[in-house]
Amino acid sequence: MEIDKFRDMFLAEAAEHLESMVDILMQLDLDPQDQDGIDALFREAHSIKGMAATMEHAETTKLSHHLENRLDICRKLGRISGVEIDWLLEATDLFKLLLDDIRNNHEERCVASFIATSPKETGTSTTLDSPQRKDPLSSEGEGLLVQLQLKATVAAPGPRFLVLLKTLSKFGTIIESTPSTDELLQGNVPDQLFVRLLSDTPQEQIKQQLLRYSELQEITFPGKINKPVKSLSKSPADKTVRISTELLDHFINLTGELITNRYQLQNALKEKNWQELDDGVGQLKRLVKNLHHQVLKVRMVSLEGLTGRLSRTVHDLSRSLAKEIQLKVEGAEIELDRAIVEELTDPLVHMVRNAVDHGIESRGTVSIKAWRERDQILIQVADDGRGIDPEKIRQKALDKGFLNPSQAQTIRDYDLFQLLCRPGFSTAQEVSQTSGRGVGMDVVKTAVEHIGGILLIDSAPGEGARITLKVPLSLAIIRVLIVECNGAKMAMPISRVIQTAEIAPEEVQSSGKQLMINYHDERLPLISLRKILKYSKNVALDPIPLVITEVLGRKIGLVVDQLVGQQEVYVQRLPAPFDQIRGCSGGTILGDGQIIFLLDLQSLFERRRG
């Protein structure tokens, strides 16, 4: 169908409109009388409607039309209520699901049951009379709201819902339900059943009765209607990139210049005019650098999209936990590689959730700050909560056998905090009661290290906690340290390197079987890259070249044969099945045609340990 050609475009644009809707909603949450904001919101809904109708996506059109109507009322009232904002946020979630349906060529899910949950108060004078936000529960009207979801395997959902509706009616009076009995009898098969029930029976008792239906997947008594899926993960639509025509023009100009350059070089070669050839190569160098720079620009996105979603996370979470938490964002305009932003989304959501859930007790601020230091981006998530008590971690590390008593005495706070990222150090419940942190931090750390970044934790009791991520600007082109081992060159992302050093053999001390060195005032274990890679015995080196790095939360001195130097390289992923090789995260071709591999120490050590 002709219209299919436009589908990707529609999906990408609609997703953008949704993102800005969420952003505007978050702003309106702070200033509910911002007329421009409400106007802008109306326009976003209107744009989605126009596109969806053109594409003949009926349910998406229906939902956006409904939103448009409601927002029109808000426009006339000159304000938007907190309940309405919450509901509209949920509507954006539903939009995302609808877009997923369209993307996956599924039939769009039905929006009628969601529309039926629209807050009742918007169009009435109550909003005018009560500028203060109302509690979402009380504003929902009379009765108990019951939301039922069946398992996907249920053979006859329509009849099952009908039986459930009858069962619920035994507890009192059903004020309304979506779908209604009549709709069910007409063969309407919904995803979920929403019932508003007026009953004297305690909620728990009703729930017990409902639990006897093994067909039920989920029974909820929402103060407001919960949408089943709230996904923050990126959708495949993000894979398309929109670039400005200006940038495209730039590419065309560059291509033109490259063509001219080619003739210049060919000519110089034919005439053996070395000066001309030299000029030509110089010109080529300049052009390629420019091209690289521009291409990188296409891949760069700002953190704004991500931080926008995070403010949503904080909003939803603090509301559900009845906490007063603000999100402060600094440096959202910082740009980095789109692939990195995608990789960072889940870890950052995790960190922010941790801060809201465990870091801050009842009110406070979570701040996200991003800044650039040379070719690295630093992103810091901080809270002003109770902080992490190193003593508690120390005790726990002792109890769990992560440290022996003498290590526990000498370990520095920095390394102590890194223990939080060790797999198995903590489980959610235990830590939220003790140190208040550590939920899934090992997962976060692994994700950050996967893209060549590092994670630092810093905190003190009563002073909140700061988690800093250092990540490379771009995944494709990164600065690496090239080392040599057993005659082979290999590379490590510079972002993983703390320092390089050369030490005299006399400086090496032994502690049992382990060789150690003093690095500043720390004792670091020496580990030989030859040994890890199972090459022949170590050769005697004087001085000994070292790479100070951090693996699995521990600082180590990695002994290599030679430190070759630093370089910017274009890293390519290895094609299957080579991508399965542990210890190697990609390859690159050096200027002289040599192929070198990128060392992934993390996985090498995991193998070694295992």
Query: Taking a C-beta distance cutoff of 8 angstroms, is the pair 398, 387 a contact?
Result: no
Cα angle 500, 503, 504 (rounded to 5 degrees) comes to: 165
Calpha distance 587→476 (Å, rounded): 11
Q: How far is the CB of 156 from another protein (least distance, A)?
A: 5
Phi and psi at residue 429, to the nearest 5° = -60, -50
Query: For another protein, which residue of 9, 128, 163, 259 counts as binding (CB under 8 A)?
Result: 163
Interface with another protein by CB under 8 A: which range of 90-98, 160-168, 355-363, 435-443? 160-168
Query: For another protein, which residue of 166, 262, 412, 573 counts as binding (CB under 8 A)?
Result: 166
Query: For another protein, which residue of 158, 222, 331, 525 counts as binding (CB under 8 A)?
Result: 158
Interface with another protein by CB under 8 A: which range of 44-52, 180-188, 370-378, 551-559? 180-188
Query: For another protein, which residue of 3, 9, 137, 156 counts as binding (CB under 8 A)?
Result: 156
Query: For another protein, which residue of 106, 151, 170, 262 counts as binding (CB under 8 A)?
Result: 170
Q: How far is the CB of 174 from another protein (least distance, A)?
A: 15
Task: Give the x/- contact pattern for another protein in 565-584, rule: CB under 8 A.
Answer: --------------------
Toward another protein, which CB reaches closer, 155 or 322? 155
Q: How far is the CB of 150 from another protein (least distance, A)?
A: 13
Q: What's at 472, amino acid-wise?
A: P
Please count the residues of this chain forming the interface with another protein, following the rule CB under 8 A: 16
Calpha distance 61→48 (Å, rounded): 8
Strands of 376-383's sheet in order across = 324-330, 363-373, 376-383, 465-472, 454-459
Query: For another protein, which residue of 4, 104, 187, 511 counts as binding (CB under 8 A)?
Result: 187
Binding of residue 162 to another protein (CB under 8 A): yes
Binding of residue 211 to another protein (CB under 8 A): no
Calpha distance 515→15 (Å, rounded): 55
Q: How far apart are the first and last CA of the chain?
A: 54
- From the CA atom positions of the chain, what is the Rg in Å? 30
Torsion angle (degrees, nearest 10) of CA 245, 246, 251, 253: 120
Say how far residue 176 (Cα) sits from the centre of its chain. Answer: 39
Binding of residue 372 to another protein (CB under 8 A): no
DSSP assignments along 186-250, one per residue: TT---SEEEEEEEESS-HHHHHHHHTT-TTEEEEE--SSPPPS----SPPGGGGS----HHHHHH
Q: How far is the CB of 296 from another protein (least distance, A)?
A: 57
Q: How far is the CB of 213 from another protein (least distance, A)?
A: 7
Interface with another protein by CB under 8 A: which range of 95-103, 162-170, 253-261, 545-553? 162-170
Toward another protein, which CB reaches closer, 187 or 487? 187
Query: Taking a C-beta distance cutoff of 8 angstroms, is the pair 541, 530 a contact?
Result: no
Residues in contact with another protein by the rule CB under 8 A: 155-156, 158-159, 162-163, 166-167, 170, 181, 184-185, 187, 212-214
